[in-house]
Each structure stands twice: as structure tokens, then as C-alpha cells.
Copies of this chain bind each other. A is one copy, B any other.
Amino acid sequence: MYTSKELKYHNIKDIPNCKIHGRTDLTGPAIPLFWNGSGVEVRVTGSELWIDIEVDFDLFEPWICVELNGAFMSRQMLMPGRQSLCLFRCMTSHDEKTVFFKRELQAMHEDDDCHILVHGFKSDGEFLPVRERSCKLEFIGDSITSGEGSYGAKEDLDWLSMYMSSSINYATLTAKAMDAEVRIISQGGFGVFSGWDNDRRHVMPAFYDKICGLAFGEFNASIGAAKPYDFNSWMPDAVVINLGTNDNVAFSNPPFTDPETGKTWKLRLKDREAGLRPLNYSAYNKEDVGQIRAAVISFLKDLRKKNPGSHLVWTYGMMGGELTIPIAAAVSDYIEETGDLNASFLELPDTPENELGAHSHPGAEAHRHAARILTGYLKNVLGKR
């Protein structure tokens, strides 16, 4: 294999022009990529570029993708170990190239070993400043926002790393259309008040404050996952919350017993509806719906505190709209109570059968549809101000 003789190793800490995407801890010797959509982006000259990374996992292997000058180039599974991946070779040396190395996989709360660390680059060129995007967007969500099903065949029903993506999920598509820098905080199965299986510990608000509250285990702690996140370090123009889909599913699922307290949790259907497939939330126990509404209000208050200047928009609907009304009503209650002038609700269209991807989740076309609507909404809202 031919290789440039001018390659030099650059520790990532020595490349001030490297753009770090996603919440992370900058204090260690390497940069952890904790979240779906997090990554490192460089603008370089030179004929060749390698990235030096360190990877581990137990069950859920991380996937990454690489964009070259904004175009999707590769997507692959990573194996454990310290390793160099070649990002490009044999290019015209003096041309400037922008390379974005990006994590496809969400933070994996069920795999304490799962991590990617970026140590540095090998290059025979120079690192130049990366172009700044025109705005900043934060997404908080569940499997939809983790891009689950954006890759994979419709028949594929396993729950696997490889079906998730940041490369073609609606969050990234929206960000590209808005020329926005994006941070994604998402976890499959999680809700705002309850997880899909009635486990109430699996809710995003509980994990919002740390750099990456969903990366558990000693190693992840050692690289800063559990540290408090500095909300002043990156202030999004808008925060898009896409939660409620798993809370909704919990109504149809069996109870969950908290292993620590022995307490049993269950979002309940109304008695008279037992056995019926619910048409919408009117089949749900009123008190339980009220708890979800309260959780929405409470999370909005929390988000406002931590994002004082951001537009907050709660989106919902890509996997069924049963909770549209209570969620919108909760946003209404929040606004009534707080007088917040900068919060809203946006329904996204349900995914029709023929647009489903893997694991019965929205496929690529459904993500494009959602992105089109969300982009229209955000352009309007952010342009207004």
C-alpha cells in the first residue's frame, strides 16, 4: 500500500481547528463520542488523512459514518481496540477537504463497555478552521431520534445497533437543510414519564443534565460521561423535543416492577376499554395521562431554565398520534403557567405502513418527510426573530 511519506501524527488536543460535535468532555487526553451524531470535523489540506480511535463494547457495537465535503462516503461497524481508520487517500494535496467522522449509534445504556474515543489524526496537510454553521439545534428524543429503522429492511425485527443512524435521520436532515450544527440526546425505549415497558426510570429528563447520562459503567465515568453538562458552553437556537411515543406504548404493555423498590408501575387503560385497541388517548386512564402531562410541563420548565434563549418545540407523532392532544395540552398548560413566549408544539405525521424501515420504525422516506415539515417550521420560527 502506497502511503504518503509526509504523514504526521497530531494529537487531537493539538488541533485547535478541529470542530468537536456533540456533548462531550474536553478535559481528557482523548475526545469521547458519546451520542448519536457526535463526531469530529476537520478542514484539511494534504493527500491523506487517518483518524486514530479507540473503541470497545460488549453487546452493542458502535457504527460510524464519514462525510467528505458534505457527501456521505462510508458507514461501518467498529471493532474493539485502538485503531487507525483511513478517511481519504491520494487526494490532490493542496485542495481543502472537509471531513466529518460521526457516530451513528446512540449512547447505549445497556452496554457499559460501549465507547468511541478519538485520539488524533495522521495527516500530510494542514488543519484549517471549519466553517461555522448558521445556527444550532438540539434534539432530545427516543429511538426515532436515534434513527432506529432508518437503515435495514422492513422485515428486520431485531433490536440492533446497525439499524440506528445519525446519517439519515430526521434530525440530521433538518440540520443540513437549516445549515445548523446539531446535538442529539436520544435513547430508544425512553419516554418523558415512562419507558416503553413501564419502567419509569427510563425517561430522558432524568438524564438531561449530565454530559452523557446514558453511558454507564466505570470506563464511561472515567472519560466524563457522568459529569454535569455545561449548558452555557453551547446555546442552541432551538431545542426539539420528540418524546411521548414510548409513554404511549406503555399503556398497552404489561406492568414493570422496579427491581430496587419492588414497586410496580403501569400506565393503565380505562376499565371499560380493556381488550380494545385504543383509538386515542381517550381510552387511557385519566390520572395516568395527567402524569404524562405533568412530566411534559416539568421537563419544559427544566429545559427553559437550562436554555434560556432557545425556542422550545415539542414534536410528536411519527409512530402514532394517540398522545397528540394531551401533549399539546400540556404545552398549553406550561405556557399558561409560565407565560413563556418561545415554546410550541408541532405534530409530525404518522408513518404509513409502506414507509416503515427496520424494527417497525420510520424508514428513510418517513425521516425525509418529517425533516421537510420540521425544516419549514424552524425556518419560519427562527427567521421571525
A329 to B89, CA, bound (A): 43
Q: Contact string, A1-31, partner B, CB cutoff 8 A, digits 1/0? A: 1100000000000000000000000000000
Closest A-B pairs by Cβ, 3 of them: A328-B328, A347-B347, A329-B332
A-B contact pairs, 26 of them (CB 8 A): A1-B56, A1-B58, A1-B61, A68-B152, A68-B156, A69-B153, A69-B155, A71-B151, A71-B358, A73-B75, A75-B75, A89-B160, A279-B344, A279-B381, A279-B384, A282-B339, A283-B341, A317-B347, A325-B335, A325-B344, A328-B328, A349-B376, A349-B377, A350-B380, A352-B376, A352-B379
- Return the contact of A385 from the options B61, B76, B279 (Cβ within 8 A): B279
A333 to B328, CA, bound (A): 11
A86 to B6, CA, bound (A): 32
Q: Is A128 an interface residue (CB 8 A)?
A: no
A71 to B163, CA, bound (A): 10
- Return the contact of A153 from the options B68, B151, B372 (Cβ within 8 A): B68
Q: Is A242 an interface residue (CB 8 A)?
A: no
- Return the contact of A328 from the options B56, B162, B324, B372 (Cβ within 8 A): B324
The chain B residue sitting closest to A379, CB to CB, is B352
* Total interface residues in chain A, CB < 8 Å: 81
In chain A between 149 and 172, which residues have their CB closer than 8 angstroms to a CB of chain B?
Answer: 151-153, 155-158, 160, 162
A282 and B340 within 8 A (CB): yes
The chain B residue sitting closest to A350, CB to CB, is B376
Query: Which B residues are in CB contact (< 8 Å) with A350?
Result: 376-377, 380
A326 and B321 within 8 A (CB): no
Interface centre among A91, A279, A380 (most CB of B within 10 A): A279
Number of identical monomers bound together in the oligomeric complex:
4
Query: Which B residues are in CB contact (< 8 Å) with A385?
Result: 279
The chain B residue sitting closest to A56, CB to CB, is B1
In chain A between 299 and 340, which residues have their CB closer than 8 angstroms to a CB of chain B?
Answer: 311, 317, 321, 324-326, 328-329, 331-333, 335-336, 339-340
Query: Which B residues are in CB contact (< 8 Å) with A73?
Result: 75, 151-152, 162
A345 and B331 within 8 A (CB): no
Query: Which B residues are in CB contact (< 8 Å) with A58?
Result: 1-2
- Decide yes or no: A344 and B324 within 8 Å by CB, A91-B160, A279-B381, A282-B335 being known contacts: yes
Given A71-B151, A95-B158, A283-B341, 18 new contacts (CB under 8 A): A1-B58, A1-B79, A2-B59, A60-B90, A72-B151, A277-B384, A279-B311, A280-B341, A281-B335, A282-B335, A282-B342, A282-B343, A324-B344, A325-B331, A325-B335, A325-B344, A328-B332, A349-B377
A346 and B324 within 8 A (CB): yes
